[in-house]
Amino acid sequence: MSRPVRYEKFQPRESARLALNYLVSMVDENLDRLPYWMVAPHENPAFAKHLRVDDAEIVASWYEGIDAVRRLLETPEGAEVQQSFYRHLMKSWGEHGLRFHEPYPWARTIHSQFHEMGYILSALNRILANDPSDHAAEARAAGLVRGLRELVIQRKKIVFWSGDFDIKETLYEFPNDLYVQGRGFDLSCHTGRGEQAIRNGVVLEPLVRRHQLTGDPVALDLAIGLANHLLGPSRYFNYRMEFFGHVHSSVWVAIGLIKLGRVTGETRYLEKGRLVYDYVRSLSSSAGWVPEYTQWKPMAEEHSETCCIKDMIECALELAEAGFPEYWNDANNFCRNQLVENQIKDGCFVAVDNRIPDNEERTYREIDRRIVGGFSGGAEPNCISLTRFRSIAGCCVGTAPQALQLVWDRTIQWQDRSLTVNFPVDRATGPATVETGYPNEGWLRVTRREAGPVAIRLYPWMGEGLKGRVNGKPVRIRTKDGLALFPSVPAGGTVELSHRLRSKLTREFVRGRVFTYLWRGSDVIDVRPQGQPLRIYQRVEGVRKHYPKAPKTRTAGTGFVAAPTQQKT
């Protein structure tokens, strides 16, 4: 008699452990562990190389990423690397409190991009949230906010064919998308990205966060002025908050709008942020595949950048906590499916030649090992593409771990003596333990050390046939606001919520075609058609993943010579 098939659990700690491998190894030891953003896993042999962005947004996002995984894992491992990222982050500051970058050979025009200042301020916020006594970080954050405020244009009057009109609300915008060191707003230089308003606008969320942390009035004033410009004269969004362009920037701005609405009490900001989320959600899969761009090219040619998935998870959580509990389901589905499936878990497909020495720009050493834990910037709903420039993206390994931590931290929440379990995830803390059977059996068990009430968040896929037990004895389940309530649990007591769990097929039109998902609860265990070359959703427990083997290039000492890298024009 054959054993029933069992499927792998969603394990945030395992994903975090793999991410830590990438964050501590895909760095340049000769440059105080400067990250490598660019990785070329499809080349023969594979390599990583430095770009200007390594010493710009990446030192900030990787600081946040490694802090997130180390806190999730509660480990001292990686502390030295995190300190290196901190040192990089805290140097290269200049005019108007802006952070620039070092004059590396691959970074010629020294400048500061306002889009990247969003990452920089976000990292400083994290440092100060963890340690409010870090005076150096506080000085840099305060200086950056005030420098940004000095550099914006304040629009005060509309001069139109029908007359002059005073602008009654605060409106701020930047004159360009970058500031050149020593030359200021040199309008002969630009990033070439376009979408200046939304790309610059990503500073909105970190500004609101800064105000939440420190009460900084300049941060709030600047956030309001930039938000008003984005929602008005920028004409970036239509009346339904649909847009034409970069999803990562737009959803990050939406998070800022929602936070701004909650801080100021202005519901219009919150509602606009919600509409942005809903628009992007309409283009995404229920498992969390999110396009990198909207309406720039045919949707069938789009790929999913993991940064966008992180933004959608954070935005869904902000909406849920703002009073829209229906968004908990998206946050749960997106994190435990496409987010973690976008992670590289095996480097067997990478061709490596360890005999090639590293130089100041490139590294070839053990890329197959170092690549494990990275996240894709070029995923399809059923696979990770390797032909795309950003098939493994340095930016994504900084942001994806932050999403893991956001979900992990909210799995168990406390208010007074009440314990709430928001996500069906195994987690053990001192005061409580959560165990689950998903995706194999439909049950969730909570054991708390001290007596008190327990609430378990309910999801649509749990159905109506819910059963409850306290210390093994059946109890009647009372529900309120999407929660199953167990008001009186004794010290050391165990609460169990169980339900029938069936496999379910859904068909979705996403990325320009129909995909069929096989679900067990909120876990996708297969998707058809299956994808290549790195097929995802191979979740049968104990079965080796189907990945292509590396080309016939072997490491030093094996007797094989690396095939020449194809020259590109």
Over residues 373-391, the mean pLDDT reads 88
Say whether pLDDT at 386 is over 90. no
Distance CA 8, CA 545 (A): 12
Three-state DSSP class for residue 6: coil
Say whether pLDDT at 565 is over 50. no
The rounded mean pLDDT for the chain is 93
Q: Look-up: residue for tokens 């701005």?
A: 253
Q: What confidence score (pLDDT) does residue 568 get?
A: 32
Question: Domain limits of the chain?
Answer: 28-411
Distance CA 230, CA 183 (A): 27
Distance CA 436, CA 441 (A): 8
CA distances to 33, 184, 225, 232, 535 from 218, rounded to whole Å, are 34, 22, 11, 21, 48
DSSP 508-559: EEETTEEEEEEEETTEEEEEES--SSEE----BTT-----PPPPS---TTSS
Say whether pLDDT at 385 is over 90. no
Q: What confidence score (pLDDT) does residue 501 get?
A: 94
The least confident of 180-184, 191-195, 311-315 is 191-195
Say whether pLDDT at 553 is over 80. no
Q: Look-up: residue for tokens 């309008």?
A: 187
Over residues 309-323, the mean pLDDT reads 97
Distance CA 274, CA 265 (A): 15
Q: What confidence score (pLDDT) does residue 161 get?
A: 87
Q: How many CB atoms lie within 10 A of CB 154?
A: 12
Say whether pLDDT at 303 is over 60. yes
SS (H, E, C) 114-155: HHHHHHHHHHHHHHHHHCCCCHHHHHHHHHHHHHHHHHCEEC
Q: Which helix (H) or strand (E) holds 500?
A: none
Over residues 492-505, the mean pLDDT reads 95
Q: What confidence score (pLDDT) does residue 1 get?
A: 55
CATH class, domain 28-411, is mainly alpha
Give the pLDDT band (50/70/90) at residue 416.
confident
Half-sphere exposure of 515 (CA within 13 A, CB side): 23
Encode pLDDT of 216-238 as tens digits: 999 999 999 999 999 999 999 99
Phi, psi of 387, rounded to the nearest 5 degrees: -90, -15
Q: What confidence score (pLDDT) does residue 569 get?
A: 26
Q: What confidence score (pLDDT) does residue 391 get?
A: 83
Task: Check: CB of residue 500 under 8 Å from CB of residue 442.
Answer: yes
Say whether pLDDT at 555 is over 50. no
Half-sphere exposure of 32 (CA within 13 A, CB side): 12
Give the pLDDT band (50/70/90) at residue 551.
confident
- Cis omega (within 30 of 0) for bond into 439: yes
Taking the C-alpha atoms of 50, 55, 56 and 58 in order, what is their torsion angle to the nearest 10 degrees?
A: 70
Distance CA 478, CA 266 (A): 34
Task: Check: CB of residue 529 under 8 Å from CB of residue 508.
Answer: no
Of residues 387 and 534, more confidence is placed in 534
Over residues 508-515, the mean pLDDT reads 96
> By C-alpha distance, which of 534, 164, 259 is closest to 371?
534
Q: Exposed e or buried b for every residue in 68-103, given b needs 16+ CB within 10 A?
A: bbbebbeeeebeebbebbbebbbebbebbbbbbbee
DSSP 408-467: HHHHEEEETTEEEE-S---EE-SSEEEEE-TTTS-EEEEEESS-EEEEEE--GGG-S--E
Task: Please state whether beta strands 157-160 and 383-384 pair in parallel, antiparallel, or not at all (unpaired).
Answer: unpaired
Phi, psi of 354, rounded to the nearest 5 degrees: -75, -5
Say whether pLDDT at 141 is over 80. yes
Q: Which two tokens stand for residue 565?
A: 């890298």
DSSP 26-74: SEEGGGTSEE--EEETTSSS-EEE--GGGGTHHHHHHHHHHHHHHHHHT
**Residues linked to residue 40 through DSSP beta bridges, in sequence order:** 47
Task: Please state whether beta strands 467-470 and 473-475 pair in parallel, antiparallel, or not at all (unpaired).
Answer: antiparallel
**Residues linked to residue 435 through DSSP beta bridges, in sequence order:** 445
Task: Please state whether beta strands 452-457 and 418-421 pair in parallel, antiparallel, or not at all (unpaired).
Answer: parallel
Taking the C-alpha atoms of 150, 156, 158 and 164 in order, what is their torsion angle to the nearest 10 degrees?
A: -140
DSSP 265-329: --HHHHHHHHHHHHHHHHTS-TT----SEESSS-GGG--B-HHHHHHHHHHHHHHHHTT-GGGHH
**Residues linked to residue 25 through DSSP beta bridges, in sequence order:** none
Q: What confidence score (pLDDT) does residue 2 get?
A: 64
Three-state DSSP class for residue 190: coil
Distance CA 391, CA 43 (A): 12
Task: Check: CB of residue 566 under 8 Å from CB of residue 42.
Answer: no
The one-letter amino acid code at 456 reads: I
Q: Is the pTM of this model over 0.85?
A: yes
Over residues 159-165, the mean pLDDT reads 91
Distance CA 266, CA 274 (A): 13
SS (H, E, C) 200-261: HHHHHHHHHHHHHHHCCHHHHHHHHHHHHHHHCCCCCCCCCCCCCEEHHHHHHHHHHHHHHH
Within 8 A by CB and 6+ apart from 460, the residues are: 329
Over residues 85-96, the mean pLDDT reads 97
Say whether pLDDT at 247 is over 50. yes
Q: What confidence score (pLDDT) does residue 544 get?
A: 80
Encode pLDDT of 465-480 as tens digits: 899 999 999 999 999 9
Give the pLDDT band (50/70/90) at residue 554.
very low
